Structure 1
Amino acid sequence: MKQKKIPQRMCIGCMEMKPKKELIRVVKNSEDEICVDLTGKKPGRGAYICKCNECLEKAIKSNRLAKNLSHKIDEEIYERLRVELKDE
């Protein structure tokens, strides 16, 4: 039987390639709205981050999320990500 390929994505915090299901996706849609996509299926430009606080803080400090999505990120998005990481 053929082995199924696991999609890999890069975390914007630690810059490591990891399986897509282990990461949280932040997406910018066509109306330039930024939201956290837990399903990984919303349309738009996506950026991925590990489910650990260290990666989130690195991404915030270096402003990588805003650079990847080419849009200013509101503080409420960062707070939503922090809440999601606490639930994990």
Structure 2
Amino acid sequence: MCCACRRRGPKPELARFVAVPDGGRARLVRDDESRLPGRGAYVCRTVECFETAVERRAFARATRAQGGLIIDAVLADTVRQGTGERT
């Protein structure tokens, strides 16, 4: 289920993100192969759902990240390139 729009769909249609420890905080990482350990947060493969999940702090809630979650611009750019959209 998409943590932004709540749409249910098969896992291959959704992008998986995982919180990876980085110092005292956690960094959000895209996990295309579903190999990284930990709780995954799934979103539709659209920029709109990714940005909605960031705004609503859905990634931190879904991954149960303690002490905050780092979502950098490089990750956001990767999501935009993966969907074919440009900024």
TM-score class normalised by the smaller sequence:
0.7 to 0.9
CA contact (8 A) 1:36 1:81 kept: no
Deviation at 1:62, TM superposition (A): 0.8
Tell me, in whole angstroms, the C-alpha distance in 1 between the residues paired with 2:21 and 2:2. 23
**Misfit runs of 4+, over 6 Å:** none
Alignment partner, residue 37 of structure 1: 31
Q: CA RMSD in A?
A: 2.2
Deviation at 1:38, TM superposition (A): 0.8
Deviation at 1:14, TM superposition (A): 0.7
Deviates more, 1:78-87 or 1:59-68: 78-87
Alignment partner, residue 12 of structure 2: 21
TM-score after normalising by structure 1: 0.71
Gaps of 5+ in 1: 1-9
C-alpha spacing 1:53/1:29, structure 2 compared with 1 (3 Å): closer
| Counterpart selection for 1:85 from 77, 80, 84 | 80
Max radius of gyration: which structure? 1
C-alpha spacing 1:29/1:44, structure 2 compared with 1 (3 Å): farther
Report sequence identity in percent.
28
Alignment partner, residue 62 of structure 2: 68
Tell me, in whole angstroms, the C-alpha distance in 2 between the residues paired with 1:30 and 1:87. 24
C-alpha spacing 1:50/1:80, structure 2 compared with 1 (3 Å): same
For residues 39-78 of structure 1, the C-alpha deviation after alignment (integer angstroms, 9 at most, x for no partner) is 11222111101110111111111111111112122132x6
The aligned amino acid for 2:82 is D
